[in-house]
Amino acid sequence: MSTQWSPAFNKTYPDRLLQSVQELPPVDLFVTTADDKLEPPIITINTVLSLLALDYPSHKLACYVSDDGCSPLIFYALHEASKFAIHWVPFCKKYNVQIRAPFRYFCDEDNKCMTNNEEFRQEWSRMKDMYDNLSRKIDVDPNSIPNLLQGEYTVFSNTHRTDHPAIIKVIWENKEMVEDGLPHLIYISREKRPKQPHHFKAGAMNVLTRVSGLITNAPFILNVDCDMFVNNPKTVLHAMSILLDSKGEKEVAFAQCPQQFYATLKDDPFGNQLTILYKYLGAGLAGLQGIFYGGTNCFHRRKVIYGLFPDDVGKGNKLSDEELKQKFGASKQLRKSVVDTFEGKIYAPSDVIIVTKAVEEANQVAGYGYEYRTGWGKQVGWMYGSITEDVHTGLTMHEKGWRSELCTPDPIAFRGCAPIGGPTSMSQQKRWATGMLEIFFGKHCPIFGTIFGKLSFRQFLAYMWIINWGFNPVAQVCYASLTAYCIITNSNFLPKDWGIYIPTAVVVIYKIYNLYEYLDSGMSIRAWWNNQRMSIITPMNAGFCGFITILLKLLGISDTVFDITKKDIPPSNDDTHDKNAGRHTFDESLVFLPGTTILLLQLTAIFIKLFGFQPQGVLSGNYECGMAEILCSVYVIICYWPFLKGLFGTGKYGIPLTTICKGGILTCLFVCLCRKTVSV
Ligand SMILES: O=c1ccn([C@@H]2O[C@H](COP(=O)(O)OP(=O)(O)O[C@H]3O[C@H](CO)[C@@H](O)[C@H](O)[C@H]3O)[C@@H](O)[C@H]2O)c(=O)[nH]1
Ligand SMILES: [Mn+2]
């Protein structure tokens, strides 16, 4: 409640920006991809194409793609995409195309039919043919890749995704630094060696930061995940309106655009479209110290990434060379670029031509040993120690006293893939719950941040709210078990007199307000209900497993891993009407065990009640199980409707028999234990 109490909104006017600043600053664009199977190259290149076509002087942009999968296919796809971009980018700019990711643009045939302009129609068709050709070309069988491994591709021979040297390739260089050309496009696959920690996405971001520091060293950085294409070509201008504001430099560390999705399923069946979260929580946070960093669609100030405090803005470099070395590592070139960043020096276009030369040095900073005994991941760059490196990194900035802002242009800035299907969605949410707990148990816990740092009290509460994604599941599982326990043992935990009205009223008012938020945002009651339901299902399954993972980590038994979310090739418009779309799917993973057990437990409890198997007369009348406990149990069953269907479903729509058996055994154990407590 505290978080949403004082909402604030930003309105940006990019046209006025062009009047008030003399020159626009350079911006480095980072894209991360990590697995060419889970993240098909066609998705990545669409994101890259949309970035290359941004409405911003192209000699001020440079696009860096980090490939943690070391995939020649991604490299090949980027190469082909850059050839297509030579035609695509001028086309978009000439006709002021809004969606510059071709797969979304060509989805909509209306774009062509809407106009009578014959020249446009012809060009449209030519572009479409070229794009179809490109998609066919990169849709190659992975086995044919060895044939691709000639010339440029030889560096990929004898590489394995977890064992290879650093590979940095300039795919396209804007040699003449022309304003309406194509931005530089650079491929980076950092060095990896077996058993050497690489810190997942945070590690990749730090390599991108260093490599780009050596090549273009732009004062601003935009980072997107491989599936987040630009939906509004003026986005950079909107973000710059916030960051270049005279007050901005002293206060605002980053400008975050909301994560929204395309080709979404109707009524948000998996409760993961985040619309309400960004709208209300985002506005609420904007009224405090600012929105959390969401890992993608975010514009950062490079010097803040380098660890600058707000009080030191404008004071230039205050670090000695020794300190620079300790923090930023051995590369002299890099340290020089860091000093430039602190001093606000921007490379002139004439300096930048040495891209190829910088690449040699870049190989050094992309090596796995480069960070050894430096401040990367601890004092500077993206923070290590949590698999939700985004919230973690943003938190350290807020703890230093920086603010952040939400940037919400119209049309919305970016769009990406929301996970479709139970297992993908659950594994993503499990990672988030795990990552939040890692933050809580880490050095940057918000509690310390408020006491010793500059995290404001209400911002602290907001961070605790989101960290609670990791703790709340335990409470939910306990309560669900408690209702079942009360029914089975004929006891109660809710008051029987008027005392019951107070908690009921609180819950009902909260739910009604929540429903209002959905309706006010133009969403349906169904979408509200789906989110309610998922707010029971997701924590008890994904969140609970996340909690167990952290217990195992704290006990030193196993470490946490960043499981990449599978990105499905976007369905064409017709597929979204598929009758099974939105139906819950399951797999063998343990993530579905807690939910299955809870459901079986509630069913058993209701069965015991209905058939009169409850023990009688153990407790006096006032302490017996009442209507309230039964209603709670029924509510849980209704929420678990998709699981109930899953008990009887087949194939991917059914809960696997092994999971049901395991759940059954746990349920029996629970019932036996309950009975024991009564008989004692
Ligand atoms: O070892 C890795 C693992 C992941 N990634 C990239 O990280 C991004 C995010 O991964 P994804 O599987 O899409 O995770 P999501 O749950 O969709 O991502 C959300 O949550 C993450 C933190 O858990 C943030 O990093 C993301 O920005 C945010 O969008 C993708 O571009 C990946 O290619 C890497 O580069 N290296
Ligand atoms: Mn994602």
- What pLDDT is attached to residue 179? 80
Interhelix angle 544-554/457-489, rounded to 10 degrees, is 110
Give the ligand with the smallest distance to the CA of 47: 1
Nearest-CA residue for ligand 1 atom 8 is 225
15 is catalytic: no
For ligand 1, the distance from its centroid to the CA atom of residue 425, given in whole angstroms, is 13
For ligand 1, the distance from its centroid to the CA atom of residue 201, given in whole angstroms, is 6
> Taking the CB of residue 151, how many other CB atoms lie within 10 A of it?
6
For residue 407, the 8-state DSSP code is -
Give the global pTM.
0.93
- What pLDDT is attached to residue 98? 92
Whether residue 66 contacts residue 362, with contact meaning beta carbons closer than 8 Å, is answered with no
Give the ligand with the smallest distance to the CA of 432: 1
227 is catalytic: no
For ligand 2, the distance from its centroid to the CA atom of residue 226, given in whole angstroms, is 8
Nearest-CA residue for ligand 1 atom 1 is 200
For ligand 2, the distance from its centroid to the CA atom of residue 6, given in whole angstroms, is 29
For ligand 1, the distance from its centroid to the CA atom of residue 538, given in whole angstroms, is 19
Q: How far is CA 468 from CA 101, 435, 464, 473, in A?
A: 36, 11, 6, 8
Nearest atom of ligand 1 to the alpha carbon of 563: 12
Taking the C-alpha atoms of residue 162 and residue 357, their distance in angstroms, rounded to an integer, is: 27
Render pLDDT for 223-257 as a digit per residue (tens, 0 to 9): 999 999 999 999 999 999 999 987 767 789 999 99
- What pLDDT is attached to residue 604? 94
Nearest atom of ligand 1 to the alpha carbon of 435: 23
* Phi, psi dihedral angles at 346 (to 5 degrees): -110, 135
Nearest atom of ligand 1 to the alpha carbon of 295: 27
> Taking the CB of residue 126, how many other CB atoms lie within 10 A of it?
12
Taking the C-alpha atoms of residue 393 and residue 306, their distance in angstroms, rounded to an integer, is: 12
CA 412, chain centre distance (Å): 17
Residues with CB under 6 A from ligand 1: 32-34, 39, 66, 68, 200-201, 204, 225-226, 295-296, 387-390, 428, 431-432, 435, 562, 564-565
Nearest-CA residue for ligand 1 atom 18 is 295
Divide the 680 residues of the chain into consecutive groups of 10 and give the mean pLDDT of each group: 84 85 92 93 95 94 95 92 95 92 86 75 92 90 66 82 92 82 94 92 96 94 96 95 81 93 88 88 92 96 95 88 93 92 79 67 91 94 95 96 94 91 90 95 94 94 94 95 92 84 91 94 94 94 94 90 82 59 89 95 93 73 79 94 93 93 95 82
Nearest-CA residue for ligand 1 atom 16 is 428
Nearest-CA residue for ligand 1 atom 23 is 388
Whether residue 567 contacts residue 417, with contact meaning beta carbons closer than 8 Å, is answered with yes
- Catalytic residue from among 28, 68, 227, 268: 68
Nearest atom of ligand 1 to the alpha carbon of 205: 35
Render pLDDT for 371-396 as a digit per residue (tens, 0 to 9): 999 999 999 999 999 999 999 999 99
- Residues whose CB falls within 8 Å of the CB of residue 485, separated by 6 or more in sequence, listed in order: 491, 670, 674
Nearest-CA residue for ligand 1 atom 17 is 565
Strands of the sheet with 298-301, listed across from one edge: 167-172, 184-189, 61-67, 27-33, 220-225, 298-301, 252-256, 403-406
Whether residue 368 contacts residue 196, with contact meaning beta carbons closer than 8 Å, is answered with yes
Mutation probe of ligand 1 site: the residue of 187, 201, 300, 566 with most atoms within 8 A of C-beta:
201
Mutation probe of ligand 1 site: the residue of 196, 224, 296, 559 with most atoms within 8 A of C-beta:
296
For ligand 1, the distance from its centroid to the CA atom of residue 415, given in whole angstroms, is 15
Nearest-CA residue for ligand 1 atom 31 is 225
Nearest-CA residue for ligand 1 atom 22 is 388
Write the DSSP assignment of 650-662 as a string of letters.
-GGGS--HHHHHH
For ligand 2, the distance from its centroid to the CA atom of residue 501, given in whole angstroms, is 42
Dihedral angle, C-alpha 350, 352, 356, 361, nearest 10 °:
130
Nearest-CA residue for ligand 1 atom 32 is 33
Mutation probe of ligand 1 site: the residue of 66, 392, 564 with most atoms within 8 A of C-beta:
564
For ligand 1, the distance from its centroid to the CA atom of residue 199, given in whole angstroms, is 12
Write the DSSP assignment of 359-386 as a string of letters.
HHHHHHHTSTTTTTTSSBTTTBSSPPS-
- Catalytic residue from among 36, 67, 225, 390: 390
Give the ligand with the smallest distance to the CA of 43: 1
Render pLDDT for 111-143 as a digit per residue (tens, 0 to 9): 666 677 888 889 999 999 999 999 998 888 766
CA neighbor of 463 nearest in space, from 527, 399, 374: 399
For ligand 1, the distance from its centroid to the CA atom of residue 560, given in whole angstroms, is 14
- Token pair for residue 622? 């006032």
